[in-house]
């Protein structure tokens, strides 16, 4: 499944040229036919003569996986039984009830071995939500059969099925057991997770992935926003967007770039594969001030769009350095209904830079790979003459550092304390204000503290304290334990966990997570997004930048250093 999830960080080409008569840029000495003969002979000998029984299928699958892992993380073999998952990643479409399910460890289990599968997010307007399944519902049975002990993937498979067929889902909610007969539908996940106005004139679009309908979804959102009121500026949020289809990246860039502008070029093993992709139509918003938000999880197609807009000085890029994936994947049919997704080229954005951050073709002796060091990055110029660099993802024009830390709020979230309290809160309160206006008051905060400490008996272990324990062992081995005992003990004392004190110290990030999760209970995913935007420092910086015309234009103008 991990390989399939990595498919999202790819660019899939619809057509691969004929290479029967093409000459590769690099010659090979060991022919493919020799390799096939050798491998076939090896399998035959193992099957016929190995002392124990051998599963040829398992051997082949294992060898394929290890072979491809030695290349790069994006080249993968997709067996026939995984084809539906692969199609879903490309189209965002499947048959089911329209809900995210998650593994949820029982509060009393400190070993993390006993868990339930719960409804995490019912999608708005889809069967689960229409039949009143709620976040926090524990799935106990599907079609009358218990799902106790089944994994998230196993439960998901039971819930999925052919559209227009029924599935019975039994859930535990508080002290009630509820069974719903749900008609499966064709579930189409909208790649635009949310769009709206952040103030009187600045619009916002959150694009979560580049599926085959991403460009139409962004264009539709823009048209709807224009019909509501005049748009003075736009924020396009690509943070956390792992990429997807190449043609969608080009079409989305074309919404803002003039016709016949280069978006990217590609160079592969064969010169016949080299091509340059340009915009083909006139943009619908050619001059609208634009800010694009990126972070370290913005990859592939996200980097094409943000990089092309940066190179053409069409948008201000805000956030943190992007992932750094400049490799192109293509899908080929394989025997018996399987497919292979393989890296076939590198892509270059209009200034000529490749944003690939890791060189998988040159590995260290231990097999590891390293990022391109800053000292080896080359400088390139945008259309206006601004300096940009290659080899490390897209660097934002305005960097907003990620202030998130692994404090107690992280552990409260990952241990499902925040999720479970939001479920209880929703059971006790019929409604809340709109997400932007909703806040946790003192009574709710104190109730949450009591729930966390007294009811859930929550505790956690600092990673720094664990490192201190390891350091103590090394110091003892080296004979320095007694000499540094006083200072060491004082530091260990400071690292002791006090949940009540830590919760007060980190009240702000905890409160933000709580408000976001509770907002989702009443306004679903869009409610959580709307709440998170209200205290998002990157969005705040984008609004500030777009509201100052002179500052915006200055960012797109070369400096003396350039």
pLDDT tens digits along 75-128: 988 888 777 666 666 666 789 999 999 998 877 666 566 789 999 999 999 999
pTM: 0.86
Look at residue 72 in the predicted model and tell me its pLDDT.
86
Look at residue 6 in the predicted model and tell me its pLDDT.
40
The structure tokens listed for 3 are 């390989």
DSSP assignment string, 121-133: EEPTTSHHHHTT-
Look at residue 299 in the predicted model and tell me its pLDDT.
93
pLDDT tens figures, 337-396: 888 888 888 999 999 999 998 877 766 666 666 777 777 788 999 999 999 998 889 999
Phi-psi region of 510 (alpha: psi -120 to 50; beta: other; left: phi over 0): alpha
Query: 226: number of CA atoms within 13 Å, CB side?
Result: 9
Burial group, residue 526, by CB count within 10 angstroms (0-12, 13-18, 19+)? middle
SS3 labels along 401-421: CCCCCCCHHHHHHHCCHHHHH
Look at residue 24 in the predicted model and tell me its pLDDT.
59
Look at residue 242 in the predicted model and tell me its pLDDT.
93
Q: What percent of the chain has pLDDT over 90?
A: 62
- Catalytic positions are 300, 311, 325
CATH of the domain spanning 93-188, picked from 3.20.20.80, 2.30.42.10, 3.40.50.300, 1.20.120.530: 2.30.42.10
pLDDT < 50: residue spans in the chain: 1-16, 20, 28
Domain boundaries, the chain: 93-188, 192-328+342-402, 408-460+497-544, 463-494
Q: What is the CATH number of domain 192-328+342-402?
A: 3.90.226.10
Look at residue 13 in the predicted model and tell me its pLDDT.
42
How many other β-carbons are positioned within 10 Å of the β-carbon of residue 344?
20
Q: How far is CA 450 from CA 378, 499, 502, 516, 533, in A?
A: 55, 11, 14, 20, 28
Look at residue 14 in the predicted model and tell me its pLDDT.
38
């Amino acid at each position: 499944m991990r390989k399939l999830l990595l498919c999202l960080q790819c660019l899939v080409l619809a057509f691969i040229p004929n290479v029967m008569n093409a000459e590769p840029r690099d010659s090979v000495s060991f022919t493919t036919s020799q390799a096939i003969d050798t491998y076939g002979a090896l399998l035959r000998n193992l099957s016929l003569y190995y002392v124990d029984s051998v599963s040829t299928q398992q051997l082949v699958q294992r060898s394929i996986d290890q072979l491809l892992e030695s290349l790069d993380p994006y080249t993968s073999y997709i067996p026939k039984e995984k084809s539906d998952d692969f199609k879903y990643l490309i189209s965002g479409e499947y048959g089911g009830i329209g809900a995210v399910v998650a593994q949820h460890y029982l509060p009393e289990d400190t070993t993390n071995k006993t868990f339930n599968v719960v409804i995490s997010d019912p999608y708005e307007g889809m069967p689960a939500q229409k039949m009143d399944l709620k976040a926090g519902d524990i799935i106990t049975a599907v079609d009358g059969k218990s799902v106790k002990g089944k994994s998230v993937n196993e439960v998901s498979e039971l819930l999925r099925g052919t559209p227009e067929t029924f599935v019975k889902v039994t859930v535990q909610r508080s002290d009630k057991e509820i069974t719903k007969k749900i008609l499966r539908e064709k579930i189409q996940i909208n790649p635009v997770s949310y769009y709206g106005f952040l103030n009187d004139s600045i619009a916002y679009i959150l694009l979560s992935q580049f599926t085959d309908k991403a460009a139409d979804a962004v264009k539709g959102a823009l048209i709807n926003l224009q019909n509501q009121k005049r748009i003075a500026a736009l924020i396009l949020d690509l943070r956390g967007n792992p990429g997807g289809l190449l043609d969608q990246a080009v079409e989305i860039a074309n919404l803002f770039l003039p016709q016949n502008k280069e978006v990217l070029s590609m160079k592969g093993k064969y010169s016949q594969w080299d091509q340059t992709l340009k915009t083909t139509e006139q943009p619908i918003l050619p001059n609208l001030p634009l800010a694009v938000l990126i972070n370290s999880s913005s990859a592939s197609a996200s980097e094409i769009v943000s990089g092309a807009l940066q190179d053409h000085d069409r948008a201000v890029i805000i956030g943190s350095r992007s992932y750094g994936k400049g490799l192109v994947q293509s899908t080929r049919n394989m025997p018996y209904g399987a497919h292979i997704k393989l890296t076939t080229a590198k892509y270059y954005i209009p200034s000529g830079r490749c944003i690939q951050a890791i060189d998988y073709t040159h590995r260290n002796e231990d097999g590891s790979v390293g990022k391109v060091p800053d000292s080896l990055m080359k400088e390139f110029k945008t259309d206006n003459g601004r300096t940009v660099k290659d080899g490390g993802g897209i660097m934002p024009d305005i960097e907003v550092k990620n202030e998130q830390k692994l404090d107690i709020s992280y552990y409260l979230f990952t241990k499902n304390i925040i999720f479970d309290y939001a479920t209880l809160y929703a059971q006790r309160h019929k409604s809340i204000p709109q997400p932007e206006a909703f806040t946790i008051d003192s009574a709710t905060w104190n109730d949450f503290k009591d729930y966390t400490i007294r009811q859930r008996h929550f505790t956690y272990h600092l990673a720094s304290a664990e490192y201190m324990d390891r350091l103590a062992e090394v110091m003892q081995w080296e004979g320095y334990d007694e000499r540094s005992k006083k200072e060491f003990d004082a530091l260990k004392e400071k690292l002791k966990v006090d949940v009540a004190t830590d919760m007060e110290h980190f009240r702000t990030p905890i409160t933000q997570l709580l408000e976001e999760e509770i907002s989702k209970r009443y306004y679903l995913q869009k409610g959580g997004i709307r709440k998170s935007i209200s205290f998002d420092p990157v969005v705040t910086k984008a609004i500030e930048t777009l509201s100052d015309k002179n500052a915006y234009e200055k960012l797109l103008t070369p400096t003396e250093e350039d």
